[in-house]
Amino acid sequence: MNREKKIIRASWWAIIGNALLALLKLVIGFVSGSFAVIADGIDSATDVASSIVVLLAARIIAKPPNVKFSYGYKKADTVATRVLSLVIFFAGAQLAYSTIKILVEGSVMKTPSPLAIYVTIISIIGKLVLTLILYQTGKKVESQMVIANAKNMRNDILISLSVLGSLLFTTLLQEPLIDRIIALVISVFIMIVAYRIFMKSNIDLMDGIDDTGLYTQLFEAVKIVEGAHHPHRVRARKIGHHYMINLDIEVRPDLSVKQAHDIAKNVENSIKSNLPNIYDVMVHIEPLGNKEEDEKYGITESEIRNHKA
């Protein structure tokens, strides 16, 4: 089974599982009178929307390159991650608004029935299963989009645990205010998670990389190639879960075009052999000792050493 099919299969598990849990929690939340369970149900409903976004993105990613998109559609993974963050944040903001409105207006609050406790326990078990499915799939196919969705599910487990705790205290103390306060805390937590996912997607959209150790591996891969000197203007950016590498190297000026090409090809092969998930490598050849003052972009080995220091 290829990468896209694995993402689609995991997404369908998430859609069906979350839809059932959301429906169950919303119905029981209203019947039992627990605003925290309703909040948990709304969060599960956003997971359905998130998984649908992932499913649609997986189908787009599978499309081959064309004249308009010569690099293919792999960055749909990153765009979908950005959309997920906005969906999650909106749900958290709506929940916070509704909860604050109830607290400010001082509406009559009733203590939730024990039925809310049982559905929350079922939710914790169900979310744990879905989290494991998504996280294992995301790590296997190296999709930040699927991993982001798995982290969202993992956070749902913590949310459901907090709901369970609030329900136990609410039932024991007969104080419905606890239920509403926990609902507000959940909404804030949801928005924080959304913000973190949003900021993570910025790196890929801005053609940056979060693991700068990749550059160290890259320079080491060039060093072992005979005839390749002074790698510089090194640039790496992500296309989906793959890396696109561009770099300049210097070779002896007396070499033939064929000899210089062979060195460049050996550099490309070395990088692909020593670094994971390489989409493509573009090597620009320069004569040894060449200086160009107008070079603005790219990383040098000394910059990486200074960055570590």
Check pLDDT > 90 for residue 262. Answer: yes
| Higher per-residue pLDDT: 240 or 261 | 261
Task: Read off the amino acid at residue 135.
Answer: Y
Q: 275 or 204, which is more confident?
A: 275
The domain segmentation of the chain, as residue ranges, is 3-205, 213-308
Tell me the average pLDDT across 287-295.
Answer: 81
CA geometry: angle 139, 151, 98, nearest 5 deg: 160
pLDDT band at 212 (very low <50, low <70, confident <90, very high): confident
Closest by Cα among 207, 165, 213 to 185:
165
Q: What is the mean pLDDT of the chain?
A: 82
**Cα–Cα separations (whole angstroms), residue 168 to 16, 38, 113, 194:** 29, 16, 10, 28
Return the pLDDT at 176: 66
Q: What is the CA radius of gyration of the chain?
A: 26
Q: Is the pTM of this model over 0.75?
A: no
| Domain covering 3-205 assigned CATH 1.20.1510.10 in the classification | yes
Q: Domain 213-308: what homologous superfamily?
A: Cation efflux protein, cytoplasmic domain (3.30.70.1350)
Tell which wins on pLDDT, 266 or 48.
266
Does pLDDT of 109 surpass 60? no
Instruction: Kindly state the tokens that stand for 43.
Output: 């969060």
Q: What is the pLDDT of residue 108?
A: 47
Quickly state the pLDDT bin for 303 (edges 50, 70, 90): confident
- Quick check: 223 pLDDT over 80? yes
Question: What is d(CA 198, CA 205) in angstroms, rounded to the nearest whole number?
Answer: 11
